[in-house]
A and B are shown apart, each in its own frame.
Chain A
């Protein structure tokens, strides 16, 4: 199964469900970037790996400002720094998206295994995964800016 428009549409629907239903933040899917995402600046990335009949990674990239706004809305708190709560919240959002991607790709369960979610962050970094396989980037607008979901997969 490739990255058909249907898979992208399902991931957008999943992202909407997670943000409106749990994060309590309205988001708007917008046109994805034409160029690769390249260098992340003052950002945090949550990621989860997939193995089995599909191998790859799903990542969600937030600027620090968006990550703090998302965490604050998720937890109902004022968040003013990138702390453990922010990393945990970003990791959990990646985890839910990874679960949904797994369901989109296979409804069985054990033919795709998910890793535990992890996060990275910093002033400047580049997110790279395997060069092979297919890539999908989705863009979403929130009041604090734009965030991205990136999927790299091979079968």
Chain B
């Protein structure tokens, strides 16, 4: 069954680019939901059936690290996998994200081939 994806990024441009890259990568996915920060993402996860979250780190209101921390405290959604897509690639930031449950990270900028390579196994 095709998996539903939640894209979390404060840039509408980046949400469009990620969606385009998923399509160009030929990945089979279901519905795509969008959120512009961590708080909106939590709201979507509480309401919709989401299988995978692709999240930025640097965002206003609630950033990606705060989102992971808050999500981990909510039993109903804590096991939904989160993959980070960010300009942040420093070992300590990605390490913190992984310690809070992130299953991987993809650096911006990316190509559809890279999206296929790293997200294909998840989607």
Contact = CB atoms under 8 A, between A and B. Distances in A.
Q: Specify the main secondary structure of chain A where it touches its partner.
A: helix
A20 to B, nearest CB: 9
A85 B16 CA distance: 11
Contacts of B10: 116
A109 B90 contact: yes
A17 B90 CA distance: 19
Contacts of B20: 76
B109 A88 contact: no
A106 B31 CA distance: 38
B11 A99 contact: no
Interface in A86-118: 88-89, 91-92, 95-96, 98-100, 102-103, 106-110, 114, 116
Interface stretch (B38-46, B75-83, B91-99): B91-99
Interface in A62-78: 71, 74-76
A109 B89 CA distance: 7
Contacts of A21: 109-111
Interface string A114-127: 10100000000000
| 8 closest cross-chain pairs (CB), A and B | A109-B90, A99-B87, A109-B93, A109-B92, A92-B11, A89-B13, A22-B109, A88-B13
Interface of A: 17-18, 21-22, 71, 74-76, 84-85, 88-89, 91-92, 95-96, 98-100, 102-103, 106-110, 114, 116
